[in-house]
Amino acid sequence: MKFARVVGNLVATQKVKGLDGVKWLMVQPLNAQRQPDGEIYVAADATNQAGMDELVFVIASKEAAFALPISFVPVDAAIVGIVDDVDDRPLYDEKSVEWKIFIGQLSKI
């Protein structure tokens, strides 16, 4: 699963049976700092809710086909989630007073 940003829409005049009603979006893959990382590609919107400039989760390969209403359709990438917020804070802050108290309590066990 990777972060991507929706950068456009794709209109398909013909679709394989099983993909009727599936929305196609152009996505820009992102690295861990959410900066562009790689070529823009097409992904099926399994959420059916993603829109322009939204941060999304994309899965690829065989798992992408499983995310759609009809399994085993020819899909290489699918949007499976819309990201509301990203918390970039470290898991713990070693300078934090609360963290030192917590570690002190663990050492007494």
pTM of the model: 0.79
Which residue has better confidence, 42 or 105?
42
Residues 67, 78: Cα–Cα separation, whole Å: 7
Residue 77 exposed, middle or buried by CB count within 10 Å (0-12, 13-18, 19+):
buried
pLDDT tens figures, 41-84: 999 999 999 999 999 999 999 889 888 888 788 999 999 999 99
Q: What is the CATH number of domain 2-107?
A: 2.40.50.220
> What pLDDT was estimated at residue 29?
97
What number of residues does the chain have?
Answer: 109
Query: Hey, where are the domains in the chain?
Result: 2-107
Task: Summarize the confidence of residues 96-104 as an average pLDDT.
Answer: 59
- Encoded amino acid at 36, one letter: P
Say which residue, 19 or 80, is predicted with more confidence: 80
∠ Cα 60 8 80 (to 5°): 35
pLDDT of 89 strictly over 60: yes
